[in-house]
Structure 1
């Protein structure tokens, strides 16, 4: 199976013009690359504008419709052409107080609608220093995946202390964490790595640590850098 390279644009770019320029640059850059599956997860409002690459969403709500001001349902995302949905990103958990219970509801909604969820898990620097990494991951996995068919999901391991810091997880340590997650869930589960992924370390996470793909944040906003990451996969 091809590695899955997912671009999480977060709340960027600021204008539609820049979003289209970035998307088109990436689309042109990866058009001849057949060794990886490239997915772009832009802000919701840009989804209808972007054609020619696989699309994903950065979040969703578990109800199909109703009086939920500001929310977007999975059915709406499917209508806009999304194939993947990121669930439980650490920024959602920290800034918007998203709980494991919320993550579980969203996972089930995504699966029921026929899309593919990418569930994010990871520990903070403080939790790692207190040797609680495995405890944190186990809790996020058990509660997040309660009643969920794990064969249909993807997990993204994103050590929170590595996200946007320029301080990526050591390749050997990342591999160890991947193996721990496999023991907790299934040896066949697809696992992505995220956290300060760059063109110069992407290959190590895929070919040395054995991850099934990458969740790329800041580097995905630089078309040249992101295309190089895809190419190195």
Structure 2
């Protein structure tokens, strides 16, 4: 809820213009934008002639019914949404969402042909083994709920690093993600499982993480189109 509708339109226009200078970037890197629900359809229209995917920040776990105020994943798919972000730390903290909620929503995204992007992460800074154990239940719940061949994106966001001045240490992040990849529920899957890093992520970071991460999940450091574009260039070159 940082952008107005006008700012969202301006932001997408500026980013598309920047990417038009280097269209080959979108051949090597998957790029997505996740606006608020109100501007989602206009963003889909703005990105119609590009390879950039549009995502939603949340969705309900039922496709239809008496659920006033909720957003149907079926309708999101119908209007062109390709990704659904689920289980963000703010949703868990403010609205009390659980691993079970995230799993049910991931299943809803998958059955409607969209990619579930599930946020995972430990609450307090500590040892790698402790972080992995806290993430384990979050990952296992989702993987048990979606078909084995579903593409899943995990956004590893240490809760203590969200909004911090600096991201979590690169070695720490790479080690946590390495161990998450070895979880049985991830190893035995037939579908693609990609893991991104979020939590004060921005330009200059991916070079340090490229040995263990598949990409970045930008928050406030992605609010400037020029910085977003710079980060995409870094990822493409890495």
* CA distance in 2: counterparts of 1:163 and 1:144, whole angstroms: 22
Q: Does 1:190 align with 2:183?
A: no
Superposition pairs for residues 60-209 of structure 1, below 5 Å? Answer: 60-125=59-124, 128=126, 132-152=130-150, 153-184=152-183, 185-187=185-187, 189-205=193-209, 207=210, 209=211
Shift of 1:131: 6.4
Task: Identify if the C-alpha distance between structure 1 residues 101 and 63 changes in structure 2 by more than 3 Å, giving closer, same or farther.
Answer: same
Q: Does 1:40 align with 2:33?
A: yes
Using structure 1 for the length normalisation, give the TM-score. Answer: 0.88
Q: Give the structure 2 partner of residue 49 of structure 1.
A: 42
Q: Which has the higher contact order (CA 8 A, sep 6+)?
A: 1
Matched positions, count? 219
Output the CA distance in 2 between the equivalents of 1:219 and 1:92: 20
Unaligned runs of 5+ in 2: none
Query: Deviation of residue 200 (structure 1)?
Result: 1.9
Determine if contact 2:37/2:56 at 8 Å carries over to the other structure: yes
Following the alignment from structure 2 to structure 1, what is the Cα–Cα distance between the partners of residues 198 and 11? 21
Task: Quote the Cα distance in structure 2 between the aligned partners of 1:130 and 1:40.
Answer: 30
**Aligned counterpart for 1:22 among listed residues 11, 33, 37:** 11
Counterparts of 1:138 and 1:221 in 2: how far apart (Å)?
Answer: 31
Deviation (angstroms), 1:125? 1.7
Aligned partners of 1:59, 1:96: CA distance in 2, in Å?
12
Paired residue secondary structure (1:117): strand
Give the Å deviation of 1:150: 4.8
Measured after TM superposition, the shift of residue 202 of structure 1 is 2.8
Partner of 1:7: none
In 2, the alpha carbon distance for the partners of 1:226 and 1:143 equals 32
CA deviation digits over 1:37-77, x for unaligned, max 9? 11000000011112223101111001112221221011111
CA distance in 1, matches of 2:171, 2:215: 16
Cα separation, 2, equivalents of 1:129 and 1:172:
12
Q: Secondary structure at the match of 2:91?
A: helix
TM-score by length of 2: 0.86
CA displacement at 1:129 relative to structure 2: 6.6
